[in-house]
Amino acid sequence: MGAFISENVIKNKRVLVTGAGGYIGSALTKALLSRIPEHILLLDSAERNLYEIDSFINEGNHDVSHASILGSVTDEALLHELFERYRPQIIFHAAACKHVPLMESNPFAAVLHNAIGTHMLVSAAMRYGVEQFVLISTDKAADPRSIMGASKRIAELAVLSWNRSGAQAKVMRLVNVIGAQGSVVPRFQQQIAAGGPVTVTHPEAQRYFVTLPDAVHLLLLVASPEIEKGLYVPKVAAPVKIMDIARHLIAGNPSIPAKNIEIVISGLRPGDKLTETLLSAQESIQESWAQKVFDDASLNDGALIQINSPSMEAEKLSGTMQTLASAVQSHRLEDLLREVRHLVPEYLSDSGLGESRIAAVAAGSQR
pLDDT digits (tens, 9 = 90+) for 210-262: 999 999 999 999 998 888 899 999 988 889 999 999 999 999 888 888 778 99
60-72-219-138 Cα dihedral, nearest 10 degrees: 130
Contact 346, 143 (CB under 8 A): yes
Query: Which residue among 98, 140, 152, 273 is the active-site one?
Result: 140
> What was the pLDDT predicted at 9?
87
Query: Which pLDDT does position 288 carry in this prediction?
Result: 59
Peptide bond into 197 cis (omega under 30): yes
Which pLDDT belongs to residue 365? 42
Which long-range contacts link 48-52 to residues 24+ away (Cβ below 8 Å)? 48/21, 49/20, 49/21, 49/22, 50/20, 50/21, 51/21, 52/21, 52/26
pLDDT at 119 over 60: yes
The pTM score is 0.90
Share of the chain above pLDDT 70, in %: 88
Please report, for the chain, how many H helices and E strands are present, in that order: 13, 16
Output the pLDDT for position 236.
85
pLDDT band at 367 (very low <50, low <70, confident <90, very high): very low
Question: How confident is the model over 140-189, as pLDDT tens digits?
Answer: 999 999 999 999 999 999 999 986 667 899 999 999 999 887 788 999 99
| Region for 143 from its dihedrals, namely left if φ exceeds 0, alpha if ψ lies in -120 to 50, beta otherwise | left
Contact assessment for residue 159 and residue 122, using Cβ atoms and an 8 Å cutoff: yes
Report the b/e string of 237-256 with b at 16+ CB within 10 A. Answer: eebebbbebbbebbeebeee
Q: Which residue has the higher pLDDT, 110 or 2?
A: 110
pLDDT value, residue 6: 57
CB contact at 8 A, 105 and 357: yes
Which pLDDT does position 301 carry in this prediction? Answer: 44
Q: How far is CA 292 from CA 2, 110, 221, 227, 250, in A?
A: 9, 36, 14, 11, 41
Mean pLDDT of 268-283: 93
pLDDT tier, 131 (very low <50, low <70, confident <90, very high otherwise): very high
AA identity, residue 15: V
Span 5-42, pLDDT tens digits: 556 789 999 999 999 999 999 999 999 999 999 999 99
Is 229 catalytic? The answer is no
What's the pLDDT band for 290 if we cut at 50, 70, 90?
very low
Long-range CB pairs of 346-349 (<8 Å, 24+ gap) are 346/143, 346/144, 346/280, 346/281, 346/282, 347/144, 347/145, 347/149, 347/150, 347/153, 348/144, 348/145, 349/145, 349/146, 349/147, 349/150
Each residue's pLDDT tens digit, 44-95: 999 999 999 999 999 988 889 999 999 999 999 999 999 999 999 999 999 9
Would the pLDDT of 272 be above 80? yes
Looking at the predicted structure, is the pLDDT value of residue 314 above 70? Answer: yes
